[in-house]
Amino acid sequence: MMFKGAFGLAAAFAALTSALPTAQNSTSSVNGTASTGSGSGSGGGVTIFNNLDTDLYAWSVADSGDAPMVTLSANGGTYSENWRTNPNGGGISIKLATKPDQSDVLQYEYTLSGDTIFWDLSCINMGVNSEFTKKGFSVYPSDPQCPKAECAPGDTACSDAYLVPTDDHATHGCPAGTHFDLHIGSSGN
C-alpha cells in the first residue's frame, strides 16, 4: 500500500485488532458479476464496473495466500466487495488487469481503520500504454463529503492517482460506511 507510512497510528490500531476473530469471506461469480462479502456489517464497500469492450480480471489481495481471480465480463461486468481487513493489519489491494495475470495492473487500495476507510488508486504498476489510461477510470463515493477521483481517457499524469510511491495526496479518508463505485472506461456519471 502506498500510504502505509502516513498512517502509522492506523496500522498500530489495526495490529491491535488483528487478534480478534474475523469472518470468512465468500466469492461468487455469475455472468461476469462477482461479489465478496466479509460480514463486517460496516455497510461500506466498493463496486467495480467494467465499461470496456474486453474482459477485466480482478484479484483482492491481502498479505497471505493466493487471491482467486475473478472475471468481469466486457461491457457491463461488475465486482463488489464489502470492506475487509488484512490479517497482518495492513491494507487490501484490488488489482485489475486486462489479461489474466497480475501485470499491467490498476489498483484500488484500501485500509479499514475503526470508523474510517482510507483509500487510493495506484497506477504505479501500470504499463505506459495501458488500456486503463487509454479509456480512463473514476471513483465516485456515496457520501458527497468524500472526494472523488477521475482520470480522463489519455491522462498519463492523473493527479487523482498514485503515479510514484510519494504521491500521498492521492490517499483519502472517508467514513467506513461509504460505498464507492469504480468505473473502468466511461465514468457512469
pLDDT per residue as tens digits for the range 16-65 = 223 222 222 333 333 344 444 433 334 799 999 999 999 999 999 998 76
| Dist CA 162 CA 164 (whole Å) | 6
- Three cell numbers, residue 42: 460496516
Instruction: Confirm if 179 and 48 have CB atoms less than 8 A apart.
Output: no
> Residue 40: CB partners within 8 Å, gap ≥ 6?
23, 82, 83, 84, 85, 112
Distance between CA 180 and CA 189 in Å, rounded? 13
The radius of gyration of the chain from alpha carbons, rounded to an integer in Å, stands at 15
Q: Which CATH number fits domain 5-17+25-184: 2.60.110.10, 3.20.20.70, 3.40.50.10190, 3.20.190.10?
A: 2.60.110.10
pTM: 0.77
Show me where the domains of the chain are located.
5-17+25-184
Instruction: Tell me the pLDDT tens digit for each residue of 139-188.
Output: 999 999 999 999 999 999 988 887 766 666 778 899 999 999 999 997 55
Q: Which residue has the cell 474486453?
A: 54
